[in-house]
């Protein structure tokens, strides 16, 4: 029994073949030469397939350029080692008694499963090609039905709450709203810490008005959340709790919010910039845009950036009254400055820093227009008189903040996108706004935010993708010296799309730049495996011609089919290894958790599905198309076009 097991595992003495030293080195040299050119051009093809990633700009370029450079340098070093170090290592360590490929039990099992399938494929040719074309045809509408977004949302493990209230809100009211909101937010058990601020920070780059509140919400680990609760559910619960009259809620995340504000000037996912010449007209158009966007599925946190409604304190000096009291305009201005704005009376020094000391009336004596009117002014002959005796004090409406783009006044309608893909939401919103809105002369809209980045990324990818396919085809042509063989390897790309489309569709992932990068990486892997298959099929043809001659009379269709099957099946292990290495490195990402996993998943999904379908196509359909091509050559030209497999 033990002897049978050892023989099945390949340890029997009959499985060994003695090879002289010179012949062993010659075999290693010949094998290295055989694969060296294929490896070189496969490397060029994979690097070429990443060309669109190198041409990405903006936020997406900064994110994916390190990936592209890392993969490129690894491939270059790998190709160098394959053609230099690997043959030397083989000559040093591949010594002793060698076994036949059939002695390996895994290889025997794979051949036992694969050979009947490939024979069935050779017999049912039209059915096989029809099934592949049908699967490809089905994948196209699946891809077209997917939503689109710029980048998959990264879960930052925190929430940024950005409500906006009326532009004329007072400091005291802003403080009260902030305290109420923080108390309500902290009442949710999943919230760990809350920190809110109103207005701008102590920096010249933060021009936030007092009406804009920013609250950072730090969350507890998800293991401490209530069962079944998601981040989306948590935001909906918080939003329901924080419905305060006069306050429009906005929900985002800290990092992406800063990126949006720095790159596009919009602090939400999408913003419609309204450009024009008059702030009042801009505000009117913005309100019309907001009304048109109401009811669009996916549009959340919709509000108009206030460009009017600000309150300005105006003090008009009455010069006749000044003359009666013996005062000057400078006297009144000095009192107003010191009482409301504050007058510098000194300076404090703390190390190398210097701070001015200002004195002004306490807030209780200047927090209403009536108190300001009663500010006393000393006169030389009439004692103390109130400010209202020599000036008119009133509030006037004006813009709380003036924003411009490209020397044009600008307002904005802002909203976030939730429960739907960004691309589909904005496309429906654009169609509705164009249908319901008529702009005055000299006014126009500009769609910005994440949608602006989405359009830029799509244009870059669509522009460079055809060029990449042409470069890949030229690389394959240089590798094989035949346009037909190059096309045979290139045809694996659309069939790689099948698995990628199915995986992305069934996981419910939207099309984004990350998904596009995954498909780009898939193209190189698919073509690389196809190159390996074509090399071995050409090697089988070379063996056939060496044995039977190269003529229609000496080569039968049955012999041709058997040699094609032999070239596909007898070298099955290296092809399976090529596919398995890619899968083993990618599949663990499907179960990854933590920060960043939600961005990695859209990259990996098309690669996993595409590797599976492209490898199936390469193992089954590529030999069939190769056989049909060789049968056509025999029938038309009377001989085979045998390429030198010693690439």
Domain with residue 139: its CATH number is: 1.20.1640.10
Domain count, the chain: 3
Q: Residue 492: pLDDT above 60?
A: yes
Tell me whether residue 182 is in a domain.
Answer: no
Residue 235 and residue 251: Cα distance in Å, rounded?
8
Beta carbons of 422 and 512 less than 8 angstroms apart: no
Cα 177–chain centre separation: 36
Tell me whether residue 264 is in a domain.
Answer: no
The domain spanning residue 381 has which CATH number?
Answer: 3.30.2090.10
By residue range, what is the domain housing residue 535?
106-145+481-646
Mean pLDDT, range 587-609, rounded to an integer: 78
pLDDT at residue number 100: 66
Say yes or no: 55 and 110 in one domain: no
Nearest residue to 260 via CA among 70, 252, 65: 252
Say yes or no: 88 and 11 in one domain: yes
Mean pLDDT, range 533-561, rounded to an integer: 79
Mean pLDDT, range 371-380, rounded to an integer: 87
Tell me whether residue 273 is in a domain.
Answer: no
- Which of 340, 369, 398 terminates a domain? The answer is 398
Give per-residue pLDDT as tens, 394-438. Answer: 888 877 778 878 778 888 888 888 888 888 888 888 888 888 888
Q: Residue 5: pLDDT above 70?
A: no
Give per-residue pLDDT as tens, 326-358. Answer: 888 888 888 888 888 888 888 898 888 888 888
* Helices 492-506, 597-616: inter-axial angle, 10-degree rounding: 140
Say yes or no: 580 and 537 in one domain: yes
Buried b (16+ CB within 10 A) or exposed e, 282-306: bbbbbebbbebbeebebbbbbbbbb
pLDDT band at 646 (very low <50, low <70, confident <90, very high): very low
pLDDT band at 228 (very low <50, low <70, confident <90, very high): confident
Give per-residue pLDDT as tens, 439-464. Answer: 888 888 888 888 888 888 888 878 87
Mean pLDDT, range 501-516, rounded to an integer: 84
Say yes or no: 89 and 116 in one domain: no
What's the whole-number average pLDDT of the chain? 80
Q: Residue 115: pLDDT above 70?
A: yes
pLDDT band at 647 (very low <50, low <70, confident <90, very high): very low
Tell me whether residue 319 is in a domain.
Answer: yes
CA torsion sign for 282, 283, 284, 285 is positive
Nearest residue to 455 via CA among 149, 243, 6: 149
Tell me whether residue 625 is in a domain.
Answer: yes
- Which of 41, 71, 99 terminates a domain? The answer is 99
pLDDT at residue number 539: 80
pTM for this model (two decimals)? 0.73
Q: Residue 645: pLDDT above 50?
A: no
Give per-residue pLDDT as tens, 76-98. Answer: 887 788 778 888 888 887 776 66
pLDDT at residue number 535: 77
Say yes or no: 354 and 495 in one domain: no
Mean pLDDT, range 281-306, rounded to an integer: 86
pLDDT band at 203 (very low <50, low <70, confident <90, very high): low
Tell me whether residue 54 is in a domain.
Answer: yes
Say yes or no: 571 and 631 in one domain: yes
**What percent of the chain stands above pLDDT 70?**
93
Say yes or no: 376 and 489 in one domain: no
Give per-residue pLDDT as tens, 35-58. Answer: 676 677 777 777 777 777 787 777
Say yes or no: 533 and 517 in one domain: yes
Phi and psi (nearest 5°) for 551?
-155, 160
- Which of 364, 398, 432 terminates a domain? The answer is 398
Say yes or no: 58 and 130 in one domain: no
Say yes or no: 90 and 110 in one domain: no
Say yes or no: 360 and 509 in one domain: no
Say yes or no: 377 and 515 in one domain: no
Q: Residue 364: pLDDT above 70?
A: yes
Close Cβ partners of 276 (under 8 Å, ≥ 6 residues apart): 282, 285, 408, 409, 411, 440, 442, 443, 444
Tell me whether residue 422 is in a domain.
Answer: no
pLDDT at residue number 1: 54
Tell me whether residue 500 is in a domain.
Answer: yes
pLDDT at residue number 44: 75
């Amino acid at each position: 029994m033990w002897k049978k097991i050892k023989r099945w595992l390949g340890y029997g003495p009959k499985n060994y073949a003695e090879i002289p030293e010179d012949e062993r080195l010659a075999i290693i040299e010949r094998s290295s030469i055989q694969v060296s050119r294929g490896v070189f051009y496969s490397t060029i093809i994979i690097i070429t397939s990443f060309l669109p990633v190198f041409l990405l700009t903006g936020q997406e370029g900064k994110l994916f350029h390190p990936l592209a450079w890392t993969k490129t340098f690894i491939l270059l070093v790998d190709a160098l080692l394959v053609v230099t170090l690997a043959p030397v290592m083989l000559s040093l360590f591949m010594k002793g008694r060698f076994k036949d490929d059939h002695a390996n039990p895994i290889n025997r099992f794979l051949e036992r499963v694969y050979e009947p399938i490939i024979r069935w494929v050779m017999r049912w040719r039209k059915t096989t090609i029809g099934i592949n074309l049908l699967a490809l045809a089905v994948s196209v509408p699946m891809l077209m039905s997917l939503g689109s977004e710029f980048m998959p949302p990264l879960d930052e493990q925190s929430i940024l709450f950005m409500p906006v209230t009326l532009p004329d809100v007072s400091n005291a009211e802003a403080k009260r709203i902030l305290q109420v909101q923080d108390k309500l937010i902290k009442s949710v058990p999943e919230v760990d810490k809350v920190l809110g601020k109103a207005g701008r920070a102590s920096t010249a780059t933060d021009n936030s008005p007092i009406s804009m509140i920013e609250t950072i919400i730090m969350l507890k680990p998800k293991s401490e959340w209530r069962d079944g609760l998601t981040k989306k559910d948590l935001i909906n619960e918080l939003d329901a709790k924080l419905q305060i009259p006069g306050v429009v809620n906005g929900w985002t995340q800290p990092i992406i919010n800063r990126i949006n504000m720095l790159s596009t000037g919009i602090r939400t996912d999408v913003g419609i910039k309204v450009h024009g010449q008059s702030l009042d007209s801009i505000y009117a158009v913005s309100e019309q845009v907001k009304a048109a966007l109401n009811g669009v599925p996916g549009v959340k946190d919709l509000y108009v950036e206030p460009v009017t409604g600000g309150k300005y304190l105006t003090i008009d000096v009455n010069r006749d009254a000044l003359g009666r009291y013996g005062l000057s305009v400078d006297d009144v201005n000095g009192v107003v400055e010191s009482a409301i704005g504050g007058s510098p009376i000194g300076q404090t020094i703390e190390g190398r820093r210097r701070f001015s000391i200002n004195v002004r009336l306490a807030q209780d004596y200047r927090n209403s227009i009536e108190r300001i009117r009663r500010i006393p002014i000393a006169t030389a002959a009439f004692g103390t008189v109130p400010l209202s005796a020599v000036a008119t004090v009133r509030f006037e409406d004006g813009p709380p903040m003036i924003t411009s783009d490209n020397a044009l006044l600008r307002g904005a309608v802002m909203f976030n996108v939730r429960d739907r893909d960004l691309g589909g939401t904005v496309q429906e919103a654009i169609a509705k706004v164009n249908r319901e809105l008529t702009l005055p002369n000299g006014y126009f809209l500009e769609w910005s935010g994440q949608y602006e980045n989405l359009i830029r990324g799509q244009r870059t990818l669509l522009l460079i993708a055809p060029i990449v396919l042409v470069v890949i085809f030229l690389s394959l042509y240089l590798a094989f010296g035949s346009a037909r063989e190059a096309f045979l390897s290139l045809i694996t790309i659309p069939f790689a799309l099948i698995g990628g489309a199915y995986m992305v569709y069934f996981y419910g992932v939207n099309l984004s730049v990350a998904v596009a990068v995954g498909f780009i990486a898939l193209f190189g892997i698919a073509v690389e495996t196809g190159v390996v298959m074509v090399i071995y099929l050409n090697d089988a043809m070379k063996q056939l011609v060496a044995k039977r001659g190269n003529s229609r009379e000496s080569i039968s269709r049955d012999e041709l089919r058997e040699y094609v099957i032999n070239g596909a099946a007898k070298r099955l292990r290296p092809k399976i290894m090529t596919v398995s290495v890619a899968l083993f490195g990618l599949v663990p990402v499907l179960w990854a958790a933590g920060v960043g996993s939600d961005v990695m998943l859209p990259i990996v999904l098309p690669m996993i599905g595409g590797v599976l379908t492209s490898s199936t196509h390469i193992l089954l359909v590529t030999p069939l198309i190769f056989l049909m091509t060789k049968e056509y050559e025999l029938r038309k030209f009377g001989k085979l076009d045998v390429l030198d497999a010693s690439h």
